[in-house]
Structure 1
Amino acid sequence: MSVTQTLASTPRLRTLGMSAEIAARLRTMIEEGELPPGARVDERAFCELFDVSKTPLREALKVLVAEGLVLHRQYIGYRVAPLDLDELRATFETLHGLEALAGELAAARLSEAALAKLERRHQAMVEAHAAGRRTEYFRINQEIHQVIIDGAANPVLAGIYAALMSKVHRARGAANADTLRWQESHEEHEAIMAALREPGRPRLAAVLRHHSENTAREVLSVVERSLSEPARRLANDNRGQR
């Protein structure tokens, strides 16, 4: 490639780099529930938020459309893709079993170094909870579960778990805003740590499964409400037109 060609391609490369960063930030907002399922993506607002023109923003949105996280309709614009309730139910049912299996394996295989790491991350999560830092709490929560999965020392289990968690991650983020469930989750994590500290860890598998089932119940409830909201709005609009 000549110097002239290189210089000519530089602005495009910068745009692509910028769009990748924007896509990553939007992806995080969607996965952590800041942009809930069905939410409209206001292009003008996000251009102002990221201090960019529409070109890199739309490049980023095309990536998220390809990933299935965002939907695009001509003349309507972009919206965060809705969640599939039936798929979520089936995924959570499988995850309950994986959490319990990880608990059984980690009970025997989790190292002292991993337990020390869990203690540190749990303390950081406690501090985030006390300070009301929901996003930080949610991220540390995920890290703790990953350390336990890694502690099971079963790469096949870890691979299946990662694939399934990618399907439910943004649904969990959407439900994370519920204050009551946040407190319940915090208490359940205290129970997980107590089970991890016990000699032989005989309760760990059951405690992890219980936590997974409670999380699924709340997440599915929140998603079901979000999916029925458009129907309620339509009914209200129809009543108002009578």
Structure 2
Amino acid sequence: MLTENESKPAKAPRAAPSARVRRNGLYTDIADHLREMIQEGELAPGSRILEKDLCEYFDISKTPLREALKVLAVEGLVTHRQHIGYRVAAIDIDEIAAVFEVLHGLEETAGRCLAKRVTEGALHAIERKHQAMVAHHHNGKRAAYFQLNQEIHQMMIDAAQNPVLSSIYAGLMTKIHRARGVANADSARWQESLDEHEAIMAALQAADRSKLPQLMKEHSEHTATESMKALRATPLK
């Protein structure tokens, strides 16, 4: 048990981390692993982090673990209270809902810009990443799929060639990454999300890309609907 949560038991931990992390115990490596565990829901929102268990899990001392936790505290992924310790930061549902509202418009705007400005090089890069993501889906590799999913979204935004849009989008995505992961934890939504990505790719590759803005907006709206539904059904404290 890596965290203590009064309302919901912690999920079973993944396989032991890589030998590289166990050998050098660098706090940056530990922070990367903890960040992924939080974003993928393995360390539940609001749950208390049990340092002893994590030290045993990573086979490290408390020093690199606490340095890693300080990094995550700066990022807002964990909170710390004296004499109580660290907890995984709770998800603010109202904030997530507000971010999604803004995101829908950004996706639609990005679709319009992307349709006009995407280069052949960017298109081929997105397609390669998309095919790798599809392979992860077929192999049931959810974490790897979700990582590529995030990269593809940012690649499409960047290919729209609007630096202001790219900057705003990247900032918003850090706020909702965990929420989107909760939605994709549902197998039905995972398949639906892949189908939507396939439709977006088809529109991006078509001679007439007029459907692209609406498809990107609808994908964002569907993700938001499922994310909010899953968050409201999940105890956060």
Q: TM-score, normalised by structure 2?
A: 0.84
Partner of 1:167: 175
Greater C-alpha Rg: 1
Of 22, 33, 37 in structure 1, the residue corresponding to residue 45 of structure 2 is 37
Asked whether 1:223 is paired with 2:231, we answer: yes
Please, which moves more after superposition, 129-138 or 114-123? 114-123
Give the Cα–Cα distance (whole angstroms) in 2 for the partners of residues 181 and 96 of structure 1.
18
RMSD (CA atoms): 1.7
Equivalent residues of 1:39, 1:80 under 8 A apart: yes
**For residue 40 of structure 1, what is the amino acid of its counterpart?**
R
Show CA shifts across 1:152-177 (max 9, x none): 10001111111111111122123331
* Seq. identity, %: 58
Q: TM-score, normalised by structure 1?
A: 0.82
Gaps (5+ residues) in structure 2? 1-24
1:134-173 to 2 correspondences below 5 Å: 134-173=142-181
Asked whether 1:211 is paired with 2:237, we answer: no
Q: How many residues are aligned here?
A: 213
Give the Cα–Cα distance (whole angstroms) in 2 for the partners of residues 20 and 118 of structure 1.
29
Give the Cα–Cα distance (whole angstroms) in 1 for the partners of residues 37 and 216 of structure 2.
27
Give the Cα–Cα distance (whole angstroms) in 2 for the partners of residues 65 and 156 of structure 1.
27
Deviation at 1:114, TM superposition (A): 1.3
Partner of 1:54: 62
Deviation at 1:70, TM superposition (A): 1.0
Equivalent residues of 1:188, 1:211 under 8 A apart: yes
Of 93, 106, 113 in structure 2, the residue corresponding to residue 98 of structure 1 is 106
Show CA shifts across 1:214-237 (max 9, x none): 00111111122224x65xxxxxxx
Of 172, 180, 188 in structure 1, the residue corresponding to residue 196 of structure 2 is 188
Partner of 1:82: 90
Of 58, 68, 75 in structure 2, the residue corresponding to residue 67 of structure 1 is 75
**For residue 59 of structure 1, what is the amino acid of its counterpart?**
E
Show CA shifts across 1:99-120 (max 9, x none): 0000001001111111111221
Gaps (5+ residues) in structure 1? 1-16, 231-242
Q: 1:175 to 1:45 in 2, by over 3 A?
A: farther
